A and B are shown apart, each in its own frame.
Chain A
Amino acid sequence: MGAVKEPMAVMAGQKTGEMGVALTTLEEALEWVAAWGRTRAMWPLLFGLACCAIEMMATQASHYDLSRFGMEIMRASPRQADLMIVAGRVSRKMAPVVRRLYDQMTEPKWVIAMGDCASTGGVFNNYAIVQGVDEIIPVDVYVSGCPPRPEGLIEGILLLHEKIRRGQIRLSR
């Protein structure tokens, strides 16, 4: 976005004569368009870990129908995904894999920690489980429940959409 902003601003300024006002309006408009685009086709990474993955599948399936929010395409490749739903407990052996998948996703990218295990370790406070996936990757939205109901996951996703709509376009986080 950085490269685009300047010529656009100059152009806008030449037309209206009032650079500042046009700059903010245009930037706001651009941000609105970008957020609209990002929320309307957010492709999650097809990546389930444990129990929550079954509820994630139920969210996609006929009864709850995630495609209402433009998210029915789960991508198995991290390169094509925007959103990582960490569905389940992350073990010590899995932690490097989760981190690598996150690193492989292209910007902009978001993470939802689905369920108690992914958020805090849940009931498994022991040697094998990473105590919350936020210890290894940054998380945008936490969804509670063990496992969360599909409605809970949908709410988390809508919350993330809201966050994107309100937030600013940034290249890196």
Chain B
Amino acid sequence: MAIREGEVQEFTLEQLKHLVSERALRGETILLNMGPQHPSTHGVLRLLVELDGETIVSIVPDIGYLHTGIEKHCESKTYTKIIPLTDRIDYLSPMSNNLAYVMAVEKLMGVEVPLRAQYIRVILTELQRIASHLVWLGTHALDIAAMSVFLYCFREREMILDIFEMVSGQRMMVSYFRVGGLWRDVPEGFEDAVRAFLKLMPSRINEYERLLKRNPLWLRRTKGVGVISPEDAIAWGVTGPSLRGSGVNYDVRKAQPYSSYDHFEFDVPLGENGDVYDRFMVRIEEMRQSLRIIDQALRRLPKGPYITPDRKVTPPPKEELAWSMEALIHHFKFWTEGFSPPPGEVYHAVESPRGEFGVYINSDGSPKPRRVHFRAPSFVNLQALPIMAKGCLVADLVAIIGSIDIVLGEIDR
């Protein structure tokens, strides 16, 4: 290892003083540790909270308790074998991660994806968005002591997971998208299952909204809490519903459409005040818009191949292996050696349920990437937490953390 001595910096108390205010050093404010094992930090987030009575003066987030080394691990795998690792970055929306990654590789290879595969990708990613928002709504409401919503949300989430299991064989870590298309075509009964879901879901979303929207306790806990201005949100790189809650119209699906999102009609819901309530309403409305997209995609789902015929990035069909020697050799070479993209670098972003999820791939022309980097939306959004929470009560902190919808898996990667 070429690590030079003296590169590890030891920190003295002097150097860490700037993290808290002067008053903390004089003992006028309290320093409170929250996490990494805490019921409402949504994982293993640790916060050092400086309190003046019950009012938050400053917050120092401490992350890395789930650092998995995925980016390093990607460098030792071929391009196809990285797909299962991307599932585990943001474990609430594996479909979006898969999509971002395979689209980046497709960009690098210059591969066209068949329209049917693009539409199925859209359907599944939007289902994933609803599933992710359901988990968010359930846990967020649970944090603010609205227990029953949690049970309702997980009831509907099971329907989506059943559809995922139907197409991929797994409930959560699907790894369904492949470079150039999909793992296989959707099975019989997929369309019926999605239609049944589409039929049921609007009334269920109304139900969640009725439970919370006019609930006085909910309003007292969320209105005017955790405000972030549009200027601050842009400067701190906040994306996704947290940005749109402040009224900034930036959605990657609209701004730079990918995977034929421009074929579908949908609105981007915007908030006005940038508080917890607006972020809540934006997400609720987003679920409805996702249903709209799924409906259109399902109606217009074209027939055709589900994966590109370009054999450079796809293995040969299973049946060919029985009679074609070339196919057998190709199959072997594909899974052992992989394919080699041209040297270069690409960045591709998709709109994950939490915001702009970007994948940066740097290729050196060999079958393994030189560097893969994931731009995780939660990582950036969490940075804005101290700004949102400043001046709020400590009890509001759990509401604010819930409203940013962080997933520690993608923060720490």
Contacts and interface: CB of A to CB of B under 8 A. Distances in A.
Contact of A89 (B38, B66, B150, B173): B66
Contact of A62 (B69, B88, B151, B171): B151
A57 B64 CA distance: 22
Contacts of B171: 55, 147, 149
A61 B92 contact: no
Contacts of B44: 49, 94, 97
B391 interface: no
A91 B43 CA distance: 13
A53 B66 CA distance: 13
Contact of A58 (B65, B72, B152, B154): B154
A74 B157 CA distance: 21
A146 B174 CA distance: 10
A141 B138 CA distance: 29
Most chain B beta carbons < 10 A, residue from A55, A58, A78, A101 = A58
A97 B65 contact: yes
A58 B158 CA distance: 8
Interface stretch (A13-21, A23-31, A126-134, A156-164): A126-134
A63 B66 contact: no
B66 A51 contact: no
B67 A128 contact: yes
B69 A61 contact: no
Contacts of B91: 50-51, 54
Interface in A69-88: 74, 76, 78, 88
Nearest to A51: B91
Interface in B65-80: 65-70, 72-73
Contacts, number: 95
Interface residues of B, number: 36
A89 B154 contact: no
Given A54-B172, A76-B39, A146-B173, A91 B73 contact: no
B135 A54 contact: yes
Contacts of B206: none
B366 interface: no
Given A62-B154, A126-B73, A94 B65 contact: yes
Interface residues of A, number: 34
B386 interface: no
Contacts of A124: 68-70, 73
B197 to A, nearest CB: 15
Contacts of A62: 151-152, 154-155
Contact of A147 (B67, B150, B173, B408): B173
A46 interface: yes
A97 B43 contact: no
Nearest to B62: A93
Contacts of B36: 94, 97
Nearest to B413: A128
B85 interface: yes
B68 A91 contact: yes
Given A76-B39, A123-B85, A147-B172, A128 B69 contact: yes
Nearest to B132: A54
A74 B142 CA distance: 13
Contacts of A78: 37
**8 tightest A-B CB contacts, nearest first:** A61-B154, A128-B69, A51-B91, A126-B69, A62-B151, A76-B39, A94-B65, A63-B158
Interface of B: 36-39, 43-44, 64-70, 72-73, 84-85, 88, 91-92, 135, 138-139, 150-152, 154-155, 157-158, 171-173, 408-409, 412
Interface of A: 46-51, 53-55, 57-58, 61-63, 74, 76, 78, 88-89, 91-94, 97, 101, 123-124, 126-129, 146-147, 149
Given A49-B44, A61-B138, A91-B68, 14 more contacts: A54-B92, A57-B154, A61-B154, A62-B151, A62-B152, A89-B68, A91-B67, A91-B412, A93-B65, A97-B65, A123-B84, A123-B85, A128-B72, A147-B171
